Structure 1
Amino acid sequence: MRSFRQTGTVVTDHRFPVPLDHDDPDGPRIEVFAREVVATAHAGRDDLPWLLFLQGGPGFGSPRPSGREGWLDRALADHRVLLLDQRGTGLSTPVSARRLAALGGPAEQARYLTHFRADSIVLDAELIRRELLGGTPWTILGQSYGGFCAHTYLSFAPEGVQQALVTGGTPGLAATPEDVYRRTYPRVAAKNARFYERYPDDVRLVRDIARRLAAHDERLPNGRRLTVEGFQSLGLMLGMGDGADRMHYLLELAFADGGPELSEPFLEQVGTHLSHTAAPIHLLLHEACYGQGANPTRWAAQRLRAEFPEFAPDPDGGDPLLFTGEMIYPWMVADDPSLAPLREVADLLAEHDDWPALYDPARLRGNDVPLVASVYHDDMYVDFDLSMETVASIGNARAWVTNEWEHDGLRVSGGRVLDRLIRMVRGEA
């Protein structure tokens, strides 16, 4: 273990060996990294309750703090916080095309990746909890995909949870990928409408960019060609509180050089937004977040896109060109130079037909662990109606419905979202 101090905190790094496959505890092992953070004033307290933070994604490491800031400041007032790098992310044993290649061919690589979903993440957390806390349960805080993981936790290891806090991450327990994307496309269209209402001059600018991309070979700094579909996928940012503004400021750079070519600053920033080099799991296992049982996902977002022709990558269409959102398409793997070697692996995962269950609806109906969730009414990424159906189906669960915040409310609210959830679970709100 390595400890260091930041402003107002003591930080300790932990590394835990865990089985790749928890059904084969004597088989291959990987490492999971987690960072313990405690307020300086509480550093010597052995009785301080623990809070496990489950990050959104999938495929992204936990936050890297700089002292007491944001929601972490509120959590540290009465908790010792563990920031978990879920398996395959951050400093946990990484997933990359290069490391996967050492495992063998595409079939072996795909088989390996089937062990990187919420069910395995929860079992990792239980091993870690027993090592750090013994038999004491902890509070879990799940943001976005981390909220999905929290529901998996309550389904299969509720004895490890004292109370569960969820922000923007209440899943449809039985929703298929098709169910999810049929609901997602209309929500993304609505976010596009709000964006263009705020920045009406961007309607023409977006069309001009798309026409340029359709007619010319514009390259990102990593050599990847920027296509109209790739450009549309920048809409992922529109679900954040400041997403429309950030999109506008990015677009205004497009022809900043004054010529017909797209400017280098624009292409550089677009390349950063589109790259999945640092988080390949986000592409490879995103649709698998919804996979349960014998139903393969088969690139659901791509298949269902035809049902929503308004999202066609047509630079000369009559309506505003629509950006897509958190949809994953097969060309995203093929077009990314760092991930192109994994295209066959991605296809195998899309055809995988033996996903274990992620939730136990019957057990959740009888749940007695206090569960509180912020459900964002206008959430672009997580369907409101599915979330409310799930909350209604779980024992001892309460929802706080708000449109004051977007999906990133936990991050941007300065601790107010987390404070509300803590007061709710204590019966104070």
Structure 2
Amino acid sequence: MAVHRQPGTVLTDHTFTVPLDHGAPDGEQIEIYAREVVAPGREHDRLPWLLYLQGGPGGRSPRPLGADGWLPRALQDYRVLLLDQRGTGRSSPASRQTLPARGDAAAQADYLAHFRADSIVRDCEVIRRGLVGEDERWSVLGQSFGGFCAITYLSFAAEGLREVLITGGLPGLRSSADDVYRAAYPRIEHKNLAHYERYPDDIQVVREIVRLLDGSEAALPGGGRLTPEAFQSLGLMLGSGNGSHTLHYLIEDAFVPGQSRPVLSDSFLSEVQGHLSFAGNPLYAVLHEATYGQRSVSPDGTGWAAERVRGSFPQFEARGRLAGEEPVLFTGETIHPWMFTTDPALSPLRETAELLARREQWPDLYDPAQLARNEVPVAAAIYHDDMYVDTADSLATARTVRNLRTWVTDEYEHDGLRVSGGQVLDRLVRMVRGEI
């Protein structure tokens, strides 16, 4: 095991072997990577473990740069394990570069069907028993999709849990993908209107960008294509604390000054490329809607729900907005089939994604009956104006999970854990201990 030291932290690499399919434990095995983090001088202390489950799906665990973000608060009480969930980071990564070795698109889809929250939780249990001990419980901190995983954990393997902390990640237990997006588009529209109220000059610039792209899509430096729909998807950033400001600064540098006709600047296209490419987390696109698939809720699968539901919200049709004077609306956390034609990191996975969208009878991810009798202490931060996770769904779930306490706040957006300097984590720790 490699050990590294950074200011304020001691980092230890761990690699584990787990079954691809936990229903066939003697079958194919994959590797899972995790990074242990502990405060200097406490390497040999008997500290409780805190497993961190990252948002996503498809997001690797954070790469710490010393004691930054929420880590200093966590390291006061815990030995932290930053898990690269299966298929991400250093855990048997799944991408356009690795998946062809599985075979054709059907084989790839069958493989990726094992990369949802239920399999991640079973991985965690293998790791817990090997690292912490068969009879030792650990704590879990779940951010966003990591919170979804934590609720799956409570549903099917609560015996491994000491306490659970969730930030922006209480899912709707009975919400289909269609339900999720029918609730999401109005929230996204609200975030757009708030952005344009803050930066009214962006209204005209965005219209000019869309008009230009409607006439001739632009080539991105990484080989992708910038279409009006792709440009709209930059609205994903509107759900973070500084996302509106970041989007504004991007928009204000869109055009090369002093030209006889509108020309998109290289700096703009380069920055857009960084925001739009799924090269670093392809599973986010490939498996996003599958995270909502449950046979008891939507036995027919997800079927590109975000694209289908968008038809009920014509205000998001960019070209239609150009015909009038209303601002063009950005979209948000929505995945669409066209992304698998405009992004080179996704285009080889187009057929695989199509098969996953058509896949039926996804296993259930939550057990409401078990959650109703839950005995593990749970504390959850619910962000009142969260663009990514529906507040009504989160509150409904909170009411059905026994032993769960909520903190509803509009002080932070969805990224509150990361940007609060440990304050969000500190409050949840004190809540789960009954100190507040």
Partners of 1:312 and 1:115 in 2: CA distance: 35
Partners of 2:79 and 2:309 in 1: CA distance: 44
Runs of 4+ in 1 over 6 A off after TM superposition: none
Secondary structure class of the residue paired with 2:249:
helix
Counterpart contact for 1:211–1:316, Cα < 8 Å: no
Partners of 1:418 and 1:71 in 2: CA distance: 7
2:227 match: 227
1:30 match: 30
1:417 match: 424
1:242 match: 242
Question: Is 2:75 aligned against 1:76?
Answer: yes
Secondary structure class of the residue paired with 1:42:
coil
Counterpart contact for 2:138–2:163, Cα < 8 Å: yes
Instruction: Write out aligned runs for 1:163-174 (5 A).
Output: 163-174=163-174
Secondary structure class of the residue paired with 2:318:
coil
The Cα offsets for residues 24-61 of structure 1, whole Å up to 9 and x where unpaired, read as 1111111000000000131121x200000000000010
1:185 match: 185
Q: For 1:3, give the aligned amino acid.
A: V
The Cα offsets for residues 365-399 of structure 1, whole Å up to 9 and x where unpaired, read as 00000011000000000000110000000100110
Displacement, 1:98? 2.4
Pair 22,208 (structure 1): closer, same or farther in 2 beyond 3 Å: same
Partners of 2:251 and 2:308 in 1: CA distance: 29
Match of 1:312 among 308, 314, 317: 317
Displacement, 1:215? 1.1
Secondary structure class of the residue paired with 1:125:
helix
Displacement, 1:312? 0.3
The Cα offsets for residues 137-168 of structure 1, whole Å up to 9 and x where unpaired, read as 00000000000000000000000100000000
Counterpart contact for 1:240–1:408, Cα < 8 Å: yes
2:215 match: 215
Displacement, 1:287? 0.4
Partners of 1:317 and 1:54 in 2: CA distance: 45
Q: For 2:105, give the aligned amino acid.
A: P
Secondary structure class of the residue paired with 2:23:
coil
The Cα offsets for residues 395-424 of structure 1, whole Å up to 9 and x where unpaired, read as 001100000000000000000000000000
2:287 match: 285
The Cα offsets for residues 234-283 of structure 1, whole Å up to 9 and x where unpaired, read as 00000000010000000011014433110000000101111001111000
Number of aligned residue pairs: 428
Instruction: Write out aligned runs for 1:373-384 (5 A).
Output: 373-384=380-391
1:408 match: 415
Secondary structure class of the residue paired with 1:261:
coil
Partners of 2:94 and 2:146 in 1: CA distance: 19
Segments of 5+ residues of structure 1 without an aligned counterpart are: none
Q: So what's the TM-score if we normalise by structure 1?
A: 0.99
Q: So what's the TM-score if we normalise by structure 2?
A: 0.97
Q: Percent identity?
A: 59
Counterpart contact for 2:256–2:263, Cα < 8 Å: no
Displacement, 1:7? 0.8
Segments of 5+ residues of structure 2 without an aligned counterpart are: none
Partners of 2:283 and 2:110 in 1: CA distance: 14
Secondary structure class of the residue paired with 2:218:
coil
Instruction: Write out aligned runs for 1:266-277 (5 A).
Output: 266-277=268-279
Displacement, 1:316? 3.5
Partners of 2:346 and 2:315 in 1: CA distance: 29
Partners of 2:349 and 2:8 in 1: CA distance: 43
Q: For 2:24, give the aligned amino acid.
A: D
Pair 93,317 (structure 1): closer, same or farther in 2 beyond 3 Å: farther
Partners of 1:68 and 1:281 in 2: CA distance: 28
Shifted more, 2-11 versus 109-118: the winner is 2-11
Q: For 1:96, give the aligned amino acid.
A: S
Displacement, 1:9? 1.4
Q: For 2:431, give the aligned amino acid.
A: M
Secondary structure class of the residue paired with 1:10:
strand
1:149 match: 149
Q: For 1:14, give the aligned amino acid.
A: H
2:96 match: 97
Partners of 1:317 and 1:331 in 2: CA distance: 25
Counterpart contact for 2:222–2:273, Cα < 8 Å: yes
Partners of 1:401 and 1:283 in 2: CA distance: 29
Q: For 1:331, give the aligned amino acid.
A: W
Partners of 1:244 and 1:403 in 2: CA distance: 16
Partners of 2:256 and 2:55 in 1: CA distance: 34
Displacement, 1:93? 0.5
Counterpart contact for 2:34–2:84, Cα < 8 Å: yes
RMSD: 0.8
Match of 1:331 among 338, 342, 345: 338
